[in-house]
Amino acid sequence: MKLAWRDLVALKPAPIPLLDSVRLTAPAVVALVGLTAAGRFVLGLVAALGAYIVLFGAGQSGRRRAKVYVVAAGGVLLSVGIGGLASGSCMLTLLAYIVIALVAVAVDLVLDFGPPGPYFFVLMAAAGATVLGNNVPLGVLLATMAAGSALAMAFALADEWYAPHAAEGRAIAKTRENSVNPLHSALGPPGLAYRVQYACTWPSLTLITLSRMVLAIVVATTITHVARDHHPFWATLVVTLVLMYPGPPDALVLRAA
C-alpha cells in the first residue's frame, strides 16, 4: 500500500456548478450566522446540523429529492432525540448507535439516500448527546433542528423553479458516461429484492462496512467511557467519517489522514 503526497492535497473537479454549491451550503451558513448574531450560537449549530440533509439526494429528480429530504429530516430528528435520551448511559448510548446504524442501513437499501450514506445518522445521534450536554432542552433542540431542515429543503429544491430539469439531465449524462455494458443499460438499475439479497450476502460491501462501523463504534465508545468523556461525539465523528464509505485499506488510510 503506497500513498503519494499529491493524493492528500489533490483537488478533484467540482461535481456540481458553482450556483448549486452556493445554494446547498447557504442554509447552514444562514442558520449559523443568523442565530449567532442573535446571541444563540449553540442553537445556530443545531439548526446548521438540521440543514445538512441537503447532502442527500445529489443528482436526483426534484420529486425524489423531496422524498429523500423528508425521510432524512425525520431520521435526523429521531437520531438526535434517541442519542440525547441515551446520553446518560454508556450502554444505552452504544446500543442507540448500533440500532440507528442497522435501521439506517435498512432504510437506505429501500430508499437509496446516496452520499453521505446511512451512517450520517449515527453522527447525528452523537451530536444530539453533545448538544444536550450544553443545557439545551430536548424540545428546543428538535424544533430548531427541524427548522434548519425546512430551510435546507427550501434552498435545495429551489432549482426546480429556475432549472427544473437540470438535475435529471446531469444524472442521465453521468449514467451514459459510466455505462459500459449495453445489456445492463437496457435492463436498468437492479430492483429492491436484488439489492437486499446482495447486501445481505457476505462479503458484500454493505456488510463489510457495517461490521467495520459497529466494531469501531464499540471500541470508540468504550474508550471514551473509560476516559470519563460523557459526550463521545469526536470519537464517533472520526470513526464515522473514516469508515462510512466502503473501500480497500489504502482508501481508509487516505480518509483517516
Domain annotation covers residue 59: yes
**CA distance between the termini of the chain:** 14
Q: How far apart are CA 209 and CA 119, in angstroms?
A: 10
- Which residue's entry shows cell 464499540? 218
Domain annotation covers residue 184: no
Domain annotation covers residue 188: no
Domain annotation covers residue 203: no
Domain annotation covers residue 200: no
Domain annotation covers residue 220: no
Q: Where are the alpha helices (DSSP H) in the chain?
A: 5-9, 18-37, 41-51, 62-85, 90-111, 120-132, 138-156, 159-162, 166-178, 182-187, 192-199, 205-226, 233-243, 249-256
Cell of 68: 429523500
- pTM listed for this prediction: 0.71
Domain annotation covers residue 11: no
The number of distinct structural domains making up the chain is 1
Encode the chain (257 residues) as per-residue pLDDT tens digits. 455 566 656 666 656 667 777 777 888 888 888 888 888 888 888 888 888 888 887 777 778 888 888 998 999 899 888 888 887 777 888 888 888 888 888 888 887 777 777 878 888 888 777 776 667 788 888 899 899 999 988 888 887 776 666 655 555 555 555 455 444 444 555 677 767 777 777 777 778 778 877 887 888 777 877 777 666 667 777 777 677 666 666 666 666 65
Range of the domain at 88: 17-173
List the one residue out of 245, 234, 241, 235 whose CA is nearest residue 256.
Answer: 241
Domain annotation covers residue 234: no
